[in-house]
């Protein structure tokens, strides 16, 4: 692994994940790999590292990043993944101008369906029932053909068959976390469905949920989407760079589906297998209109107050891939935004 990465040369560093830095490497047979190096200060630790190895090695799906192997030697803990040529969906959509990719409508649809199929496999089709817990645009990678592959299972937890939910230490990304998980640590696969809804909204709009502020009173892209839905103007959200080269019917279906997935009530969110069928147009999408009043805003701010009450809370800036993130005692805050959903 040292030889493949030129002794972890900084020039080969391609990102920073929940475990630590990620390096590009080339094996002796020419295979290009991505090496995730567990940092000495990582809070995940050996137990979660070994859990990740066990889970990922058992998973094989076209829309999941493949794990080739691992290396545990002394304090060095490494995961060796397939290398994805087009980096992350976040960089393709929100990166610097020279990093962004020209994603046409059909490609965006393919990416959305790929993510949905990967999650449906994790939740319903794999031998293990897995909740990812951190679905976001930076954790969706794109191969040379712009197929989507879900990455970073460092936060994934197994949902034992005898349990209907998992209450555990909150770990996820602000702006993508379902309200019931952010507030109470109540975790089911419906938390991933919520996060998928946010990513779907970002793919269609070309805008980041946490960075887009159409007006000061709207904290997130999701807030603005609800307003436009109530006004019957959802198509205003479609990425202007697409021009008229997209299907209005498909765009409306996908935006309504995004809001259905991001419903505040987990019981009203669809399963990911249903989402796949909706994206394929096999079953209709009926997104409920959610009235978001002052009470909703109070809950949002209350969640952040709970997050901030711990006197030991520390705010550390770290180098992200592709952008800057803030870590807040297990929480990841994209672009320094500070509300939990």
Q: Which residues are catalytic?
A: 134
Q: How many CB atoms lie within 10 A of CB 233?
A: 10
Bridge partners of residue 79, in order along the sequence: 36, 70
Can you tell me whether residue 194 is helix, strand or coil?
A: helix
Segment holding 333, helix H or strand E:
strand 331-334
Rounded CA-CA distance 288/292 in Å is 12
Structure token digits, residue 314: 């520390």
| Cα distance from N-terminal residue to C-terminal residue, the chain | 39
Pairing type for strands 67-73 and 76-82 reads antiparallel
Pairing type for strands 325-328 and 316-318 reads antiparallel
Rounded CA-CA distance 104/99 in Å is 16
Cβ–Cβ under 8 Å, residues 80 and 35: yes
Rounded CA-CA distance 124/61 in Å is 13
Q: Is 325 exposed, middle or buried (0-12, 13-18, 19+ CB in 10 A)?
A: buried
144 phi, psi to nearest 5 deg: -65, -25
Rounded CA-CA distance 187/202 in Å is 23
Rounded CA-CA distance 163/151 in Å is 25
- CA torsion through residues 114, 251, 258, 101, sign: positive
Phi/psi region, residue 178 (left: phi>0; alpha: psi -120 to 50; beta: rest), is beta
């Amino acid at each position: 692994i040292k030889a493949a990465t030129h002794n972890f040369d900084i020039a080969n560093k391609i990102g920073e994940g929940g475990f630590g830095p990620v390096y590009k490497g080339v094996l002796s047979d020419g295979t290009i790999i991505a090496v995730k190096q567990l940092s000495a200060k990582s809070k995940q630790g050996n137990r979660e590292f070994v859990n990740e190895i066990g889970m990922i090695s058992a998973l094989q799906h076209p829309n999941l990043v493949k794990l080739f192997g691992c290396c545990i030697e002394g304090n060095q803990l490494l995961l060796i993944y397939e290398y994805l040529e087009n980096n992350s969906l976040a960089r393709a959509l929100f990166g610097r101008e020279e990093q962004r990719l020209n994603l046409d409508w059909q490609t965006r649809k393919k990416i959305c369906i790929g993510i949905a199929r990967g999650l449906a496999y994790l939740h319903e089709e794999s031998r293990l029932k897995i909740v990812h817990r951190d679905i976001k645009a930076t954790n969706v990678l794109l191969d040379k053909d712009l197929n989507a592959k879900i990455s970073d299972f460092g936060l994934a937890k197994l949902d034992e068959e005898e349990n209907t939910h998992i209450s555990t230490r909150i770990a996820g990304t602000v702006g993508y976390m379902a309200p019931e998980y952010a507030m109470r640590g109540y975790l089911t696969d419906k938390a991933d469905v919520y996060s998928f809804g946010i990513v779907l909204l970002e793919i269609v709009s070309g805008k980041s949920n946490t960075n887009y502020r159409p007006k000061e009173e709207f904290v997130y892209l999701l807030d603005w989407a609800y307003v436009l839905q109530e006004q019957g103007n959802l198509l205003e959200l479609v990425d202007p760079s697409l021009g008229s080269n997209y299907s209005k019917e498909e765009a409306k279906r996908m935006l309504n589906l995004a809001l259905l997935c991001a419903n505040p009530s987990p019981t009203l969110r669809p399963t990911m297998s249903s989402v796949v069928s909706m994206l394929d147009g096999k079953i209709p999408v009926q997104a409920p209109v959610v009235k978001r009043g002052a009470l909703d805003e109070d809950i949002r701010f209350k969640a952040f107050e709970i997050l901030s009450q711990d006197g030991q809370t520390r705010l550390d800036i770290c180098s992200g891939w592709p952008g800057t993130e803030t870590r807040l005692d297990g929480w990841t805050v994209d672009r320094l935004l500070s509300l939990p959903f």
